[in-house]
Structure 1
Amino acid sequence: MKRKSNDQPLADVIDHLLHQYGLSAKYREFKLLQSWAELMGPMVAKRTDEVYIRDGVLFVKLNSASLRNELSYNRSKMVELLNEAAGKQIIHDIQFK
């Protein structure tokens, strides 16, 4: 079937709508939070009680003090990894609780 000249891929239409309604940044944050377990691995995911983003800061509540200490030493690497996964700089800092 021949495409009409004004046909666009669905992904492009969705991106346009998200941008039009000012939801692009929130959607990127949502996708990043959804991929937390995959990006950090099962050990970190299992010990994560809560994770959310506010004003470019990722807040991570962990149920392990030793893991919290270890991750705090790797904070800058984690920021880099998360932003790379998002395809844009979303996270400026990480706070562990």
Structure 2
Amino acid sequence: MAKRNNDNQPIQDILKEFVQTNNLQSGLDKVDVREAWANLMGNGVNNYTTAIELKHDTLYVQLSSSVLREELSYGTDKIVKMLNESLRKEVVKKLVLR
């Protein structure tokens, strides 16, 4: 039977270590970006959003409305900045609207 470790550690530290050792951060970032997009853009944009995918540092968002895609394309830098502020770290460097 495994010996118990009597050193008390906060659960936050244990979870951070678990995420680092199992390389789970990129998957967590993908989920966090989807939630941040939904929260920041609101129902109006979310109704036309069909797919959100984070590959490396580029966020690909597929929209069903070409008018909305054109309108959002004027503010991609601002959207990237807002997403990264919401995530409290720089995850997204580029936004591609499809």
- Interval containing the TM-score (normalised by the shorter chain): 0.7 to 0.9
Q: Which residue of 2 aligns with 1:18?
A: 19
Number of the residue aligned with 2:44: 43
> TM-score, normalising length from structure 1?
0.85
RMSD between aligned residues: 1.5
| Alignment partner, residue 35 of structure 2 | 34
**Gapped runs of 5+ residues in structure 2?**
1-5
Which residue of 2 is the match for residue 87 of structure 1?
Answer: 88
For the Cα contact (< 8 Å) 2:73–2:97, is it kept in 1? yes
Deviation beyond 3 Å, 4+ runs, structure 1? none
Question: Please, which runs of 5 or more residues in structure 1 have no aligned partner?
Answer: none
* Residue 88 (structure 1) shift: 1.0
Tell me the distance in 2 between the aligned counterparts of 1:8 and 1:46. Answer: 43
Rg larger in structure: 2
Partner of 2:3: none
Deviation of 1:39 after TM superposition, in Å, equals: 1.5
Which amino acid letter does the alignment assign opposite residue 15 of structure 2?
Answer: I
Query: TM-score, length-normalised on structure 2?
Result: 0.84
Q: Is contact 2:62–2:97 with CA below 8 Å preserved after alignment?
A: yes
Distance in 2 of aligned mates of 1:33 and 1:78: 13
